[in-house]
């Protein structure tokens, strides 16, 4: 699929570039493990102790408690989309590719056409805010060795799922706290109980 620059006007509906530098956070992130498989850690003590952590919490999240974790590894497939009730900040060490879509395009039966998604190249060290209404999932490789991406979210996100009352049809998409997910059947996530609703190609970059 076509990979656009994050400076392309097409990115503006999905998020924005934040004009801040976070050298200590990036240096700490570069020391986190990078393997052949995708690994996600919601909160990492070293990253949360970085010199820029308080600034991120106060200036980007308005003082709300945050967690700074990471998503590292190698990946070339979409596999699923997820969304939260808030923005997510991504910061890659090597650069990465994000495949993004719009929550507004989810159908009433919670299916979604992957053909509506777009891919964007995020350069190394760029601080990117991904809006709450943006569908996303694990980053994809831009560099051959893989990616190390800081994932910043409100504290508690992607941890143990709350007990649900079953009052909302959307409950079927929740797989963790503050995480709603729609999987592609090729991902195998359905075997773990994820809702399978992505239609079309399991996008590859």
Would residue 204 count as lying in a domain? no
- In this structure, are residues 179 and 93 in contact, taking their beta carbons and an 8 Å threshold? no
What are 119-159's pLDDT values in tens digits? 999 999 999 999 999 999 999 999 999 999 999 999 999 99
pLDDT-derived band at 58 (thresholds 50, 70, 90) equals: very high
Would residue 80 count as lying in a domain? yes
CA–CA separation, 49 vs 28, rounded Å?
9
Q: What is the DSSP string of 54-68?
A: HHIIIIISTT--EEE
Q: Does the pLDDT of residue 166 top 90, yes or no?
A: no
Q: Which CATH number fits the domain that encloses residue 133?
A: 2.60.120.10
Q: Does the pLDDT of residue 98 top 90, yes or no?
A: yes
Would residue 53 count as lying in a domain? yes
Would residue 33 count as lying in a domain? yes
Would residue 205 count as lying in a domain? no
CA–CA separation, 82 vs 96, rounded Å?
18
Nearest to residue 160, comparing CAs of 140, 179, 182? Answer: 179
Residues 6+ apart with CB under 8 A from 18: 60, 89, 127, 128, 129
β 118-122/3-5 pair status: parallel
Nearest to residue 158, comparing CAs of 86, 59, 54? Answer: 86
- In this structure, are residues 25 and 57 in contact, taking their beta carbons and an 8 Å threshold? no
Q: Is the pTM of this model over 0.85?
A: yes
What are 13-24's pLDDT values in tens digits? 999 999 999 999
Q: Which domain holds residue 161?
A: 3-199
- Domains in the chain: how many in total? 1
Would residue 168 count as lying in a domain? yes
Would residue 179 count as lying in a domain? yes
CA–CA separation, 193 vs 129, rounded Å?
29
Q: Which phi and psi angles does 74 have, rounded to 5°?
A: -130, 130
Residue 47, H or E segment = helix 45-48
Would residue 51 count as lying in a domain? yes
């Amino acid at each position: 699929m076509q990979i656009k620059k994050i400076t392309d006007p097409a990115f503006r509906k999905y998020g924005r570039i934040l004009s801040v530098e976070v050298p200590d956070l990036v240096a700490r992130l570069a020391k986190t493990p990078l393997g052949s498989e995708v690994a996600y850690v919601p909160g990492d003590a070293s990253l949360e102790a970085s010199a820029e952590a308080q600034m991120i919490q106060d200036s980007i999240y308005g003082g709300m408690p945050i967690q700074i974790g990471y998503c590292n590894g190698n990946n070339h497939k979409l596999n699923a989309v997820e969304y939260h009730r808030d923005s997510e900040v991504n910061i890659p060490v090597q650069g990465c590719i994000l495949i993004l879509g719009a929550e507004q395009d989810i159908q009433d039966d919670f299916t979604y056409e992957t053909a509506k998604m777009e891919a964007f190249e995020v350069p190394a060290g760029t601080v990117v805010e991904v809006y709450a209404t943006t569908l996303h999932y694990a980053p994809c490789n831009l560099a051959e060795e893989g990616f190390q991406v800081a994932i910043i979210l409100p504290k508690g996100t992607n941890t143990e799922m709350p007990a649900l009352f079953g009052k909302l049809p959307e409950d079927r998409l929740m797989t963790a706290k503050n995480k709603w997910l729609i999987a592609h059947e090729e991902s195998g996530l359905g075997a773990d109980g994820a809702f399978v609703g992505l239609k079309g190609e399991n996008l590859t970059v």
